[in-house]
Structure 1
């Protein structure tokens, strides 16, 4: 029997935690719950979940701070729940390393679909080693190295880089890249993609490859020659 993937649900609203946990359990996932950021950090270290659902508006330690602390030690996929349809909050969450976000109120069915999509991007299928310049990406092992130095990426960042490295010398239009990463009709905006690309560029630059990615306005994104 296949072990179900484990989801950590973090929200200070017990009714919402129960609602999300029930939807995930019915979808075949195992769930753990936390009422605040401190509990989330403890459960994440002990239980090693496959994905964390994280509310932005947590008491004491908010979701952004919790995300920063999680990212300091793990690349576990994170999906933010936010009560505000505020673009700044969404962009900040993505800048901190979240993989996606859902705005409250939300449909449990949509949440489950988003979680499945993130997990699919994060795990992926076995793929050959990809090399381009200083970059070496092993999609199967979820490992990127730049000139031999390993670089930690989120699942979404790895997926973006995988598509770019699989098409060296080509520019991929932003809408096409969004469809490949999040799926057709996902409703994900170009700005969400841009936030992930900005994080990816920063990490590559810090590792010694500041010019690895190139963008041509109105054409697309690709790898530098």
Structure 2
């Protein structure tokens, strides 16, 4: 959640936590985008007017870097039609005018989560690995692995596309987004981390091999069965 008014932020935090949610709050757009770049969140609650930018700026950054998987609810005192339309066109999933009502806000949070995380999303099990796509959790030999959002997304993409050769540019566009302001060395860094975190090798039955000057391929090293 990003809200620059401390009293409003404390009140919204109280309401959200009363619904058995965990909330992390920020007072500026810059602090929020820094957190979004490295962490994983299920919902973004966004004030429209911020000290260092607007809700439109945050929405543009979010959709450009994270795509449409993260639902965004704008909570603001602005109730004019032009602002509501601007927010929805910029990528907001819902719009709530202050003063918000606690039960209604909680219901709206649950509604947007249902839309982006519908029931029935499978758990991917491959040998020693278990990947809960809906909950963004990955286990190796039933032990949880601590991962950043991008590490998790890259892992899922590899497991869903075994044996395929991907260029660094393709992986950069697919995981970080088109025109991401980073270079392909970021892919190399993440691959290096995944090899360690996923304990890739003979013991787990998978390897992540590099193709010189091109990219990476995720392959089985044994006859591990998928379920």
TM-score in terms of structure 2 length: 0.51
Listed as ranges, the gaps of 5+ residues in structure 2 are: 123-133, 135-173, 175-227
Q: Does 1:99 align with 2:93?
A: yes
Q: Does 1:123 align with 2:117?
A: yes
Structure 1 partner of 2:73: 79
| Partners of 2:97 and 2:60 in 1: CA distance | 20
| Partners of 1:102 and 1:123 in 2: CA distance | 21
- Given that 1:34 and 1:43 are in contact with CA atoms closer than 8 Å, whether structure 2 keeps it comes out as no
- Given that 2:93 and 2:112 are in contact with CA atoms closer than 8 Å, whether structure 1 keeps it comes out as yes
Structure 2 partner of 1:51: 43
Structure 2 partner of 1:88: 82
SS in structure 1 at match of 2:49: coil
| Partners of 1:104 and 1:57 in 2: CA distance | 13
> After the TM superposition, which parts of structure 1 deviate over 3 Å for at least 4 consecutive aligned residues?
none
- Deviation of 1:127 (Å): 7.1
SS in structure 2 at match of 1:95: helix
* 1:141-160 deviation per Cα after TM superposition (whole angstroms, max 9, x unaligned): xxxxxxxxxxx9xxxxxxxx
RMSD: 2.8
| Partners of 1:127 and 1:31 in 2: CA distance | 24
Equivalences, count: 128
Higher Rg of the two aligned structures: 2
TM-score in terms of structure 1 length: 0.52
1:30 to 22, 29, 34: 22
